[in-house]
Amino acid sequence: MESLSNRSEYSDLLPLKTEFVLNHVQMTWPEIMWAYSMGLIGWRSLKEFAQAGVGGESPDDELVKLANLSKECANSAEERARSLATHSGAQDEVTTRNKWLYLLLKSLYEQKGSVSDPLGLVEQIYADFDYPERIEGFVRWMPTHDPVRTPEEAAERMDRNWQSYLENCAAQFRS
């Protein structure tokens, strides 16, 4: 998957705000670095995650240095965060992708009234995240198991499926 931040389709969503992420899921440094490499968050988020004390009970030297970076030293943020990720243990790629997929779709759902074609962006996210089955219920061109009579009924069903997905993920990732 290539960096999403360079693609115009995502301009209304990215970068995701640190506060938004921290309010919805617990993160590890490997997960944060994955998102950084994908363009879902920027260097400032690396600093803000460090300021929030992500990744441990007692801050280590790298965490303190990252938390106190100035804009002039922003180029060292990635190196410091990568060091934190290396010392945090192995990354579960599936969980990492699912967390960030959830966050991206949660952000889009909250902003769908200001996005010209939110379901079109869902389709783009679906493709960019390698067609996860978890979200097929709100991808327009995917077949449904139950017939619908009108386009409005189909839209309502997709919205309910989207809400259900977000609720399930919230329960899964908050624990």
pTM of the model: 0.88
Digit-coded pLDDT (tens) for 67-107: 888 888 888 888 989 988 888 777 789 999 999 999 999 99
Specify the residue for token string 């390698």: 130
Distance between terminal CA atoms of the chain?
Answer: 28
- 119 within 8 A of 113, measured Cβ to Cβ: no
Average pLDDT of 32-48?
A: 93
The reported pLDDT for the residue numbered 94 is 92
Q: Is residue 175 predicted with pLDDT exceeding 70? A: no
